[in-house]
Amino acid sequence: MQQIRRSLRRWWWAVALTSLWVGSAAAQRDRGGDRSQWQLARLHYAGGGDWYANPSSLPNLHRELARRVGMKVAPREAVVTLDDERLFNYPMLYVTGHGTFRPSRSDLDRLRRYLDAGGFLWVDDNYGIDSSFRAAMRELYPDRPLLALGSDHPIYSAYYDLPALPKIHEHDGDPAQGFGIMDGSHLAVYYTWSSDIGDGLEDAEVHGDPAEVREAAMKMAINVCLFALTQP
């Protein structure tokens, strides 16, 4: 299983960085359209939650990954369901929303297969998804709890050195906290709670956040993407 994960991540990473994109024109054609560019996938999940929240956030993140890191990325995210045949084309799934996250049993089984193959799930609580997400994770990984990640976790220094998970919006006033579900030493699920990174990635006029707050959100999101693609 570890070898399968390493192989998948090598393939995903090779098509992400412009500096590594060196194949011939024929080889590039063989890879297929979507596979020529790195692309984050937004999960259209079941349960009634607004999976589509923060529509300008991920296009902005894609743009900044290209500009700051030099990655070869698509203009905007893909949208997939857990039963989508394209699911395994994407190294990262992104989940956000204010409502209910309630995948079916078959959807959870497919999500588990995706994660076991080396995929990465980032869930960003947009103030409301917390209880249903935690319930789904208990069903997905009954023997692996969500663990609080300390500020020394490498996800906070994957590209930018950040002191901790940024706090974008107040909500209940609780401090921002990152949680993870581990598969051995591999971080399979990363959960950003009481932070609202996705809000901070949106166009400036959407929430009126100060420039420094939006910059902190962007740096954190870039860290998440690069950590997901380079962790052992």
Q: What pairs with residue 192 in β-bridges?
A: 124, 178
Which pLDDT tens digit goes with each residue over 196-221?
A: 999 999 999 999 999 999 999 999 99
Which pLDDT tens digit goes with each residue over 138-167?
A: 999 999 999 999 999 999 999 999 999 999
For the four alpha carbons of 229, 31, 17 and 197, in that order, the dihedral sign comes to negative
Residue 191 in tokens: 């959960």
Domain layout of the chain by residue ranges: 2-230
> Is residue 5 predicted with pLDDT exceeding 90?
no
Mean pLDDT of the chain: 87
pLDDT mean over 102-128: 96
Residue spans of beta strands (DSSP E) within 81-222: 92-97, 120-125, 147-148, 177-183, 186-193
What pTM does this model have?
0.87
Q: With 0-12 CB in 10 A as exposed, 13-18 as middle and 19+ as buried, what is 175?
A: exposed
> Is residue 28 predicted with pLDDT exceeding 70?
no
Least confident among 11-20, 65-74, 105-114, 127-136 = 11-20
CATH 3.40.50.12140 assigned to 2-230: yes
Is residue 196 within 8 A of residue 53, CB to CB? The reply is no
